[in-house]
Amino acid sequence: MDNKSGKPVLAIIVPCYNEQEVLPETAKELSGALQQLISEQIIDERSILLFVDDGSSDNTWSLIEKLHTENPSVFSGIKLSGNRGHQNALLCGLLAVKDHAALSFDAAISIDADLQDDIGVIGKMIEKYRTGCEIVYGVRSNRKTDSFFKRSTAQSFYRFMRFLGVDIVYNHADFRLMGRNALEALAEYSEVNLFLRGIIPLLGFKTGIEYYTRAERPAGTSKYPLGKMLQFALEGITSFSVKPLRLITLLGVLLFAVSVAMIVYFFVRYFSGYTISGWASIACSLWGIGGLILLSIGIVGEYIGKIYLEAKRRPRYHVERFLFMQERNNYEQH
Ligand code: UDP
Ligand code: MG
């Protein structure tokens, strides 16, 4: 049942991986914002904050437990059995909210634990939701707080994705509101290689955008080092586009055309009396083409690897503990 006209029951979902430095501050800020929205009659008073601990090795979970004990009606928690990555932790939170039988949530907002996203926008997101948007994207109006390197790599990633024909929202990370209908639709996507930013635009529905400026991380360090970032980008590309495979085919056709031209050229030279000289050109093409073949096999291999992982249908996460005030019913593992 949609409750767009009334006060929606909201869950704010926060994935946390080794966030002990910033979590107390985040909990304070977010619960403050939640209380404010409740007192302004924008959201229902049953709205909650849900922390998903993505297998942290520091004190993150004990902090969440403490928050829940102090104020169970506001703070809920889910502990995953191990580190499954940001996207899986997020998905776990979203699906848990959708499946929560005792409280029928109307909408969920996902936000990072590090307070980089502007929590002042949450109210505006709800506003958009109430006027009929099922999904509201939080979009960064600029990237001033990023390092030059992160800014340029991120921007070229978005451009490249667009070039490959993948519909992703420019400068939108995972700060977004999703209504119940969108969550139900999301649950039907069972892929193991999860790239939520690519899936959400596929859901359809009426969407809206809220712009905000992204702040710097107040404490702790980024949990996305370069290696993880590259892996994430590759995930996004290979999960949503087969264009690289087509480019390989195109390259093959192109190289074949070049070789035909070369054969014709050498024949002409042979019959016009020149001896065939130039081992350099042969050596260069040998290395060049050899390299391209290996690269192509690598790209094809990436896709085969994807199929391999998808074919196994392994669960995307396991839940170790639930801390919900209301009893959870019918919660399944996804
Ligand atoms: N995160 C997670 N699991 C991971 C890595 C990160 O749940 O394996 C969470 C992290 O706690 C944070 C969010 O994902 O809430 C975004 O991470 P971070 O702020 O480090 O990324 P950045 O903003 O630097 O891209
Ligand atoms: Mg961050």
The alpha carbon of 224 and the centre of ligand 1 are apart by a number of angstroms equal to 6
In 3D space, the residue among 82, 113, 79 whose CA is nearest the CA of residue 96 turns out to be: 79
With respect to residue 15, please indicate whether it lies within any of the assigned structural domains.
yes
Same domain flag for 97 and 166? yes
**Mean predicted confidence (pLDDT) in 275-291:** 73
Q: Please name the residue whose Cα sits nearest to atom 19 of ligand 1.
A: 222
The H or E element containing residue 75 is strand 75-80
Q: Are residues 260 and 168 in the same domain?
A: no
Q: Whose CA is nearest to atom 23 of ligand 1?
A: 222
Q: What is the largest CA-CA distance in the chain?
A: 93
Query: Which CATH number covers residue 161?
Result: 3.90.550.10
Q: How far is the CA of 18 from the centre of ligand 2 (A)?
A: 12
Shared domain check, 211 and 168: yes
Do 262 and 177 have their domain in common? no
For residue 286, what are the CA distances in angstroms to 259, 266, 282, 295? 12, 17, 6, 14
Which residues, judged by CB distance below 6 Å to any ligand atom, belong to the binding site of ligand 1? 15-17, 19, 54, 83, 85-86, 89, 112-114, 116, 222-224
Per-residue pLDDT band at 2 (split at 50, 70, 90) = low
Residue 3: inside a domain, yes or no? no
What count of residues does the chain have? 334
Number of domains in the chain: 2
The pLDDT score that the predictor gives to residue 265 is 82
Q: What is the pLDDT of residues 147-185, one digit of tens each?
A: 788 888 888 888 888 888 888 888 888 999 999 999 999
Residues 194 and 303 in one domain: no
Alpha carbon distance 65, 323 (integer Å):
8
Q: Which atom of ligand 1 is nearest to the CA of 221?
A: 20
How do residues 58-76 score in pLDDT, each as one tens digit? 999 999 999 999 998 899 9
What's the confidence (pLDDT) of residue 332? 45
| Same-domain pairing of 192 and 286 | no
Kindly report, residue by residue over 193-249, the tens digit of the pLDDT: 888 988 899 999 999 999 988 888 777 788 777 888 888 888 888 887 878 888 888
CA of 55 from ligand 1 middle (Å) equals: 12
For 97-156, how does the pLDDT look when each residue is reduced to its tens digit (9 = 90+)?
A: 988 877 789 999 999 999 889 998 999 999 999 999 999 999 988 777 777 888 888 888
Instruction: Establish if 202 belongs to a structural domain.
Output: yes
**Is 93 among the domain residues?**
yes
Residue 302 sits in the same domain as residue 329? no
Global confidence as pTM: 0.80
Residue 233 inside a domain? The answer is no
Q: Verify that 127 and 252 share a domain, yes or no.
A: no
- What residue numbers bound the domain in which 136 lies? 10-221+316-333
In the reported structure, the alpha carbon of residue 112 is separated from the centroid of ligand 2 by a whole-number distance in angstroms of 6
